[in-house]
Amino acid sequence: MILSTLGKQEAERKFETLLNHLSHPPSFTTVRVNTHLASVQHVKNMLSDELQKQLNGLSVPILQHPDLQDVLLIPVIGPRKNIKQQQCEAIVGAQCGNAVLRGAHVYVPGIVSASKFMKAGDVVSVYSDIKGKCKKGAKEFDGTKVFLGNGISESSRKEIFSGLPDLKGIGIRMTEPVYLSPSFDNVLPGYLFLQNLPSTVVTHVLDPQPGERILDMCAAPGGKTTHIAALMRDQGEVIALDKISNKVKKIKQNALLLGLNSIRAFCFDGTKALKLNMVKDTEGEPPFLPESFDRILLDAPCSGMGQRPNMACAWTLKEVTSYQPLQRKLFTVAVKLLKPGGVLVYSTCTITLAENEEQVAWALTTFPCLQLQPQEPQIGGEGMMGAGLSFEQLKQLQRFDPSVVPLPDTDFDSLRDAKVEDMIRLANKDCIGFFIAKFVKCKSTEETDP
């Protein structure tokens, strides 16, 4: 399904390579500067001071991306092989483990089990329960676990599992992580947004202009929404939809934190966003009149098979194939809401053919009014064969496939000798799996009276 054009053995080898890459974090931490509040240089200087403090004076370069001017890249050091594993252990859930691999500390709710003698101030080895088999509150665990590094426990085992609901803070402060990357907990809030590299590319490809009316159909947690508003210099209107109310709250919080006023977020199902009767407009609230947006971003719900790090390969075939109909429903609504001459960008954080190139082929057949467009900037590779798209069409897509480069081994010495252009090339390739397609609507989809 994913690699139907390759021979079976080749496909299996490629899939193994991909799963191996997905279990490691990307080799750079990517942060987007909120250019609405400050210049990139100013934020880069502040971040440099912050990193010096975090890394006790060790110096790690901060690179400005040459094709994404508002993006800064910080190399991740690792995997570090000489960390001594401790007798005292804590097991964390797979999701918490993934966050630790990207620089987070361990928060109390993420701790599944801990050694019976663990007390506050102990040096603890932290492991990820990648198969989800460890029982909450267990004193030891012999199942499959992956070492994440060492940290200092902030609470005792007794406090962590006392059942007190108010324990939400840091449970273990990571001091020797296997992958060393900066923690962004409360670092320069308002100035920085932690985002994956391809997610920042999407908004540049959409290319929003001041004064336009733009729809972000599946917007939570608001990284792309706030990027759209910043690129528009906060002039115009950005409508953000998500159907889960807590997530909509998150979008509003992020807009407030980043000082952006052009964003209006609604708790609303994108598949129902088209107004079917032409009675008066609901004061700019959903559902919306047909052909009322200049640009639309559909960053569609997907199987998420490009996310990194992901050590628990928990996808079922049924789950992976369930997204295609929903994506098509949302896409159909997007086409109808888009003005003639408007731009529609479709993106996913997955690597399957069914959710990406097959959807593009379907869209071009179903909506003759759509034309595939070249993308700027073009940072990912071209699309994958197998969905019946022409070679020219595949060149207009962007597919980020992390398995195209060998997994790097980065330490302070190799960083000292590394060339900037080589680091940028690595950052562009060794990121999460992702897909982007850009369309323009050439003519109206509205029925005209004869």
Catalytically annotated residues: 349
Query: What is the residue whose two structure tokens read 């089990």?
Result: 113
For 58-62, which contacts have Cβ atoms below 8 Å and span 24 or more sequence positions? 58/412, 60/182, 60/412, 60/415, 61/415, 61/420, 61/423
Say whether the peptide bond before residue 290 is cis (omega within 30 degrees of 0): no
Tokens of 382: 């071209």
- Please report the sign of the dihedral spanned by the C-alpha atoms of residue 137, residue 139, residue 142, residue 146: positive
Give the burial class of 317: count Cβ atoms within 10 A of its Cβ; 0-12 exposed, 13-18 middle, 19 or more buried.
exposed
Cross-strand pairs, 63: 73
Give the burial class of 44: count Cβ atoms within 10 A of its Cβ; 0-12 exposed, 13-18 middle, 19 or more buried.
middle
What residues have CB less than 8 Å from 167, skipping those under 6 apart?
108, 155, 159, 160
Say whether the peptide bond before residue 221 is cis (omega within 30 degrees of 0): yes
What separation in angstroms does the CA of 358 have from each of 80, 116, 379?
A: 40, 52, 21
Nearest-Å Rg of the Cα atoms of the chain is 23
In the DSSP assignment, the letter for residue 270 is G
- C-beta of residue 306 within 8 angstroms of C-beta of residue 433: yes
Tokens of 358: 């097959």
DSSP string across 9-50: HHHHHHHHHHHHHHTS--SEEEEEE-TTTS-HHHHHHHHHHH
What is the three-class DSSP state of 360?
Answer: helix
